């Protein structure tokens, strides 16, 4: 289920795309090989900063957070994702694509984290898999690629992190 909270001008532009994002989430989830429900919260920088501080002890906003479900829920619930609409909108503008495309990129990245991948500790496997899936899903540049080589017009890229 995709929840948009709190309501804002950005969330109203996403509302008509919500059914399409839900279909995309299911398709990407199947391609990643992730079973179980995934709940997604589309929220503000303020709320994602609170979540990041609470669960990762990092007092800053980020673009996407992944919260894998405990083992006892495996198969039923894969986990939860939280995406900042504020940061996603800034990144979409910086990279020259739509907010909906940016949310799709962040959903894919988060799903890969929920499947157990972690680009912060692997030897490039997650980046490779994300690039493959991005091509299949016809998405612009992968999140990992972009963070390692941000465009010159972008002030700063927020590194996606998986909750430890």
The enclosing domain of 127 has a CATH number of: 3.40.390.30
For residues 112 and 126, what is the distance between their CA atoms, to the nearest angstrom? 7
The total of structural domains in the chain comes to 1
pLDDT of residue 151: 45
What predicted TM-score, i.e. pTM, was given to this entire model?
0.81
Is position 158 within any domain?
A: no
Residue range(s) defining the domain that contains residue 77: 2-152
Strand 64-68 and strand 161-162: the pairing is parallel
For residues 98 and 36, what is the distance between their CA atoms, to the nearest angstrom? 28
pLDDT of residue 82: 95
Beta-strand (E) ranges in the chain? 2-4, 37-43, 64-68, 77-84, 161-162
Is position 164 within any domain?
A: no
Q: What does the pLDDT profile of the chain (164 residues) look like in tens digits? A: 666 666 566 666 666 677 889 999 999 999 999 999 999 999 999 999 999 999 999 999 999 999 999 988 877 999 999 999 999 999 998 988 889 999 999 999 999 999 988 888 888 898 899 999 999 998 876 455 555 544 433 333 333 333 33
């Amino acid at each position: 289920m995709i929840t948009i909270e709190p309501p804002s001008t950005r969330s109203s532009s996403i509302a008509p795309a919500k059914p399409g994002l839900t279909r995309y989430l299911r398709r990407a989830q199947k391609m990643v090989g992730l079973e179980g429900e995934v709940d997604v919260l589309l929220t503000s920088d303020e709320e994602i900063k609170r979540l990041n501080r609470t669960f990762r002890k990092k007092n800053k906003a980020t673009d996407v957070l992944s919260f894998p479900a405990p083992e006892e829920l495996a198969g039923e619930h894969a986990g939860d994702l939280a995406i900042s609409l504020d940061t996603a909108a800034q990144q979409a503008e910086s990279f020259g694509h739509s907010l909906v495309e940016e949310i799709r990129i962040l959903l894919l990245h988060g799903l890969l984290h929920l499947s157990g991948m972690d680009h912060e500790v692997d030897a490039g496997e997650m980046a490779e898999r994300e690039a493959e899936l991005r091509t299949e899903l016809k998405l612009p540049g992968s999140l990992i690629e972009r963070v390692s080589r941000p465009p010159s017009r972008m002030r700063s890229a927020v590194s996606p992190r998986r909750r430890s």
